[in-house]
Structure formats: structure tokens, C-alpha cells
Structure 1
Amino acid sequence: MTGIEFLENYRQMFARPDIARPIAAAFVARLRDGGTPLAMVLLVQHGTGSFAVAGSATGAFGLAAALSRPLHGRLLDRLGQRVLLATAAANSAAMLAFVAAVRLGAPPPAVVAVAVLIGLLLPAQAAALRALLPDLAGERLRPAAYAVEANAQELTAISGPLIVGVLVALLPPGGALAVLAVVGFAGTVWYVTAPAARAWRGTGFVGPRRSALRAPAMWTLMLAVASISVILGVLQVALPAFAGDRDATHLAGLLLSAFAVGSLLGGSAYGAGQWRASAVHQLRVLLLVVAAGVAVLAVADGMALMTGLALVAGLGMAPAFAVTFLACDAIATAGRAAESFTWLGAANTAGFGLGGTLAGFTIEWAGPGAAFVVAATVVLTVAALLWARPDALRAGT
């Protein structure tokens, strides 16, 4: 495959404004999602002097966002993508109210309550885009589209905190969160006014409220997503712990960035290829790749080696997520595409939280190396399930 052939899928995709604009607009809108937790922590800690209150507010925001995802997805399926505009406007207003509450010295319970409101009103932008892409990309460009979306997920997680860091240095307390509120709303407006988003309609289904989880394969897919996210949660704790053990805490971000760069490279390569294997087979192989990459981190004994191994370990991450998006598109219950993608988001959040918890206990007991092995074991267990049941992700199973 020549370099030109390798990039042909991306060239064709981004040459089409009907695909490029929603992807770009969704990325801008989701900078709010990537930056809000850090901006919230910094604002609350500055205003109250308490990391406990800051952590409580951020945790409440994350939990509320995760629990409300399926409801937002169901609204998308019923009402279409225009529902994002209403939730984005309400979410931005809640973010500004949060800034005001902290600046005015509101009591901690009130601050946490507004944080919950921000989470409940967070637009399901990722699910909206993932439900839209199959109609736009077609069968041939669909893997590339989902690979770009998986990479965008990584980029928002990286870019959001970086932008917050710059804004905090330039603006008064609360300024970063206020800017994110405006940017998030502007991105949503740009997205919703795109012709492709306007043309996409929910089913308007008014029968019994049957959940997307009626498809048994969705449970298996959510388990796979959760296992992948366990790795992300473990790395967020274990890599800084590894750096701290070597008096290099200031380089913890380098290790996390190396893993993210590897994921971006892997996702880009995956999206440029043409893959004939079924989604379940691709996912089985990628889970093995991801598990092996993380397990090998346990042998690192210095920062330089860990940086290189973290980059290699990340190579399978974005491709694995991209395949789960493809599988979700294939097995989603009719009229429940957006809701199905929000359930994947909930599994992602649950897995991330579980990973962080596992890492904390494991590091206290046996150190960061053991945490990497535990994360790999979780993924290998799910991979074994998929190898034992080749039909586990088949629609209707």
C-alpha cells in the first residue's frame, strides 16, 4: 500500500463537507466535555480552599453525566439532533450559574448541586455524531469515520485540559469555565445547523419505551467497552504513581501523553485501511493487543523505557474503540442508535471509574507494575469471552 493509497479514505472523507463539518463541529463542542472537570476543580479549590469540595463537585458532575446519557440518547432518537441545541443552552447556563455560585461563596452542598445539574444537562454530542456518521460515510468509509471519531475522543481529552491551563493563566477565577460554556454552545450550534444534522430525524417512535438494551449483544459490547476503559482508568493513576516512585512526578503527563499519541497513531492507521474481518474478530484481536501492551508496562524500570512502552501500548486503543462503534452501529435496536451509543458512553465512564479504583488499591498493595497486570487481566477475560462465543456481538444475540 502506497502512502497515497493509505490516506485515500481520509482524503475522500474530508473532501465532503457533509462529513467534515459535523466532525469538526462536534470536536469544538466537546472541548467543553474535556475541559470542564479540570476547570471545575481549579475554580472550586480557589473559591473554597478545599480539594474535598472540588473533588465532590467534579465527581458529582461525572456521575450525573453518566447516568443521564441513556435518557439524552432516547431523546435524540425520538426528536432528532435539534434536541442538542436545547440541552447545550441549558448546560451553558448551568455552567455560568456554577461560576457565579462559587464566586459568591455559596455553601458546598449548593455548589455540588449545580455541578450535578451541569452533568445532567451535558449534551450527548458524541452519541449524536456516532448515530449520524453511518448515514453519511457509507459502508466503505465508515471505519475511517469511526477511527476519526475515536481519535477526536482522545484529542478532546488532551486538548480540553491544555486549553484550561492557558485560560486559567490568562483569566480571573471562573473565566476558564465560562469560556468553555460559550465554546461548547457555539460548537453545538455549528453542529446542529449543518445540513446533515438538520436532515437526520429521530424515529418519533411512540410505542412502548423499549430500551436499546433489549439487544443482548449490547450487554457484551458494553462489557468490552468497560474493559478497555478500565485500562484508561488504571493508567491515569498508575503512570503518575510510576513517575512518583522515581521522583519524576512532573513527567507524569509525558507518560500519559505518550500513550495518547500511540492511540492517535493507531487510530489513524486503522481508519486508513480496508478491513475484511468481522467486527467481533477485529475486537477480539485488538483486545489481545491492548492487553499485551499494558501488561508489558510492568517490566519498565525507568522513565525513558516507560515512555516508549506507553506509546506502543496506546497503538491498539483508538482502533479498539472504533471497532466498538462499528459493532454498536450494526447491533443497535431499530430506532435506538443514539441511545445505544449513550449506553456505550455509560460503560466507558463505569470502566474508567473502576480502573481508577482498582489501580489505587493495587498500587497500595503491590505497586504500579501490579496495577498494569490487573488491567491486562480484565481485558484478557473479556477477550476470552469473545473468543469462546464468536456470535456474541451478532445482532439479535
Structure 2
Amino acid sequence: MSGTTRAGSYRDVLLLPSALRTFVPALLGRLSYGLLPLSLLITVRQSTGSFAVAGATTAVFGVTSLSMPYKARLVDRYSQRRVLPFLAAGASAGLLVISGTSSAVVLLLLVGVTGLLAPPLGPSMRSNWRLLTDGLPLKERAYALDAVAEECLFLGGPLIAGTLIGAFAAPVALRCSAGLMLVGTLAMVTSPVTTHTATPATSRHPLGPLVLPGLRRILLVIMVAAAGLSTAYLCVAAVAQQAGRPGAAGYVEAAIAGGSVLGGMLWACRTHTRPWPLHLAGLIAVLATGLVTASFVPGLVLLGIVLGLTGVAVAPLFVVSYLAADQVTPAHQHTEASTWINTTNNLGTAAGAATAGLLVDHTTPSWGFLAGGILLSVAAAATWLAHRLGNDSIKLYI
């Protein structure tokens, strides 16, 4: 049997009832997260005069992402319309206060509270796509559209933030992020689909869908893949620094994001019928090949080309992961499970970057690329082998 068939178009997805009135404001709100890292970092640096404090606030905000699945659980239980406006209002207010504060201790506390209130807009929109495509063969196409759009936001967000910082000031960019978050969220919840509530299970475990072996195995694969891939970003910065052109790292990272956008669009041109474990293994193998190749590549230009081609697997990897999480979890836990994909990716990214930093400090960026490629190769092989063996004790899906 063929592994792929023709899929519906993006136009089919966007013409679904309430699709545009939900998706467009959701993108507006999610753009705030594209502006936030740079604008927060520079704002805190300028107000305190310390990069250490700025880095600490960024780390605190990252740690609070662990609360995202539990906020998603509230959304599943009480609906987006009842939960998201409250979270967005609190987080936006926190950003506004941060933009005018100079005390390091107060800033750390404010960033922590703001991170805890940050609304889970991405997982909520994927929940909306599930509702909008219910009964139609368009969910994979919708997820791909969402992943591609998110890549574009995180590519354009820093550019917008940088422009605002250059033309005005860093606090202005931070306030813009706050405004986008609030306005986008409030506009999104006017859509009829945001009133939906999932039917909760009679007994709710504190760990939610994490008790399901199928989801835990998917998350393990994503964490390892994220750890391997994150070495590329750190090593790119190291190569650029060694070449005396640190700013060039941004162009190489943009090439990866551009490849991801292209990959997501191409992936969604087909409806894939092979088992998802095989897709995960194949996509991770593409990433592994790219990183191993990068370890032998001289020069930033060629490195950008290689990693840009490698990036075509990034967005499809998340599309497959979200669909797989839907498959192994009950309907009332889909939003929370989707959020765990992102949270696990963040944890893997942090672990991989920290390890790669130690490696690069003691060797060269080439060894960092190679280490990341080997880790990804092991993950791809283990995922493929687990599926091929088909043993319930080790296979990826149950």
C-alpha cells in the first residue's frame, strides 16, 4: 500500500466554517511570543544594567513553561472562552509592569508570575483545528498549516522586535508583545468553537495524559530529538563567533526556519498512511544526516545551505507528533497532550544546548554537530526498531 495519498488544500482548511475568524486572531496572539524573548531580554538588560539578571529572567520564563499543560487542562475542562481571557489579561498586565520596573528581585518575581499566566494559544488553536476538521480528512493539513504559520511567526517576531527596539526602545517592543497577546486572545475567543468543553474523565490523575505509556514514549522521542537538534543552534553560534561574524548566526538560523516552513508545506501536500512511528524515525534520520554532514562542512555559507535543507524535517516532525499524541490519548486530554509535546521539546532543547556548550568549550563546533547527529541517529534507529519488533512492551504506539 502506498504511504501517501493526495490531501486537501490549505484553501479547503481555511474555508471551513469559523476557520479564519479563529486562526487569524490566534496568530496575532501567538506573534507576541515571537517578540517576547528579545524584547524581554533587552528591556531587563537596559533597566538593570546586567546581562546576568536579563539571562535569569529569560530562564525563569522558560521554567514556567512547565505550567503550560496544566493551563491546557483548565482549557479542556472549562473552555477557551472562560480561561484564556483571564490568563491573557494577567500575562499582558505583567509585561506592562515589567516594562517599567528596574529592581532585579521584583523583575524576577514578575516574570515568574507572568510566565505562569501566559495563555497556551498554540495548543488551544490545535484543539480548535480538531473541532473544525472533525469528520473530515483535513486534520493533518490543518496541523501542517498551523506548524508552518508558527515557524513564520518565530522567524518574523525577532525581526519585528528588533525594528521596534531600534526605532523606539525595548520597553515599547515589550508593550507591543503584551498588546498582541491580549488583543489576539480576546478576538480568538469570539469564535463559536472556543466555547467547547471536553468531557472530563470521572477520575483525573494529577499527571493527566502522562500516565499513558503511548504518550510517554512519544515524549521521550521528542525530548531526545530536541536535545540533538538544539546542538545545531549552539554550534552555529560558535562557528559564527570563530569566524568573527557573530551576527551571521542569525542568517543560518533563519535558513533552518525557512527550510522548516518549506518542509511543512510539502509534507501537507500528501495524506500519509504509513504508521506514525515510521514517519518519526524517518524525519529524525533526516535531521541526523544533516547534523553529521554539517560537522564536515567548512564556512558559514555552505553550513547555512546544509542546515537549511536539514530544516525541512522540523515542522513535519511536530505535525507527526501532534497527530500521534491525538491517537494515543482520549479526546478530553488532547489539548493537554499537545502541550506536553511543546514542553518536552523545550526541556530537551535546554538539556541539549547545555551539553553542547560544554562540548564546544572543550573541543570544536564540528564535534558538537557530530554528537548531535549521533544522538539523533540513535533516536531514529530505536524508534524504527521498536515499531518493527512490534512488542507491546517496547513499541512506540499502543
TM range (shorter): over 0.9
Counterpart Cα distance in 1 of 2:150 and 2:176:
20
Q: How does 1:85-96 map to 2 (within 5 A)?
A: 85-96=85-96
Deviation per CA, 1:348-375, whole angstroms, max 9, x where unpaired? 1101101211221111122111111121
Q: CA deviation at 1:38?
A: 1.0
Structure-1-length-normalised TM-score? 0.92
1:393 aligns with 2:396: yes
| 1:117 is the counterpart of 2:113 | yes
Q: Which amino acid aligns with 1:157?
A: F
* 1:197 counterpart = 2:194: yes
Number of the residue aligned with 1:223: 220
1:160 corresponds to: 157
User: Which is further off, 28-37 or 378-387?
Assistant: 378-387
Q: CA deviation at 1:97?
A: 1.5
Superposition deviation, residue 160 in structure 1:
1.6
Q: 1:335 aligns with which of 332, 335, 338?
A: 332
- How far is the alpha carbon of 1:262 from its aligned partner? 0.7
Does structure 1 retain, via aligned residues, the 8 Å contact 2:359–2:367? yes
Contact 2:16/2:132 (CA < 8 Å) preserved in 1? no
- Following TM superposition, by how much is the alpha carbon of 1:378 offset from its aligned partner in structure 2, in angstroms? 2.0
Q: Identity over the aligned pairs, expressed in percent?
A: 29
CA RMSD of aligned residues (A): 1.8
Q: Is residue 357 of structure 2 the alignment partner of residue 354 of structure 1?
A: no
2:54 corresponds to which residue?
54
Which 4+ runs in 1 deviate beyond 4 A? Answer: 5-8
Alpha-carbon shift at residue 227 of structure 1 (Å): 2.4
Give SS of 2:222's match: helix
Deviations 1:180-225 (A, max 9, x none): 1011111111211112223x22325563435111210111111122
Structure 1: stretches of 5+ with no match in the other structure: none
1:162-188 deviations in Å (ceiling 9; x for gaps): 111111123244111111101111111
Partner AA of 1:203 in structure 2 = T
In the alignment, what sits opposite 1:20? 20
Written as runs of structure 1 = structure 2, the 5 A alignment for 1:44-83 is 44-64=44-64, 66-82=65-81, 83=83
Alpha-carbon distance in structure 1 between the residues aligned to 2:293 and 2:247: 23
From 266, 269, 276, give the equivalent of 2:266: 269
Deviates more, 1:171-180 or 1:115-124: 171-180
Q: Alignment length, in residue pairs?
A: 385
Matched residue SS, 1:300: coil
Is 1:127 the counterpart of 2:123? The answer is yes
1:314 matched to 2:301: no
In structure 2, the partner of 1:99 is: 99
SS of match in other structure, 1:339: helix
Give, in whole Å, the separation in 2 of the partners of 1:264 and 1:183: 23
Residue 67 of structure 1 aligns to which amino acid in structure 2?
L
Query: For residue 136 of structure 1, what is the aligned residue in structure 2?
Result: 132
Structure 1 contact 259–313 (Cα < 8 Å) conserved = yes
Aligned to 2:9, the other structure's residue is in SS state helix
Q: Structure 2 residue aligned with 1:209, among 202, 205, 209?
A: 205
The CA distance in 2 between the partners of 1:96 and 1:141, in whole Å, is 39
The residue that corresponds to 2:248 in the other structure is 251
1:131 CA displacement: 2.1
Unaligned runs of 5+ in 2: none
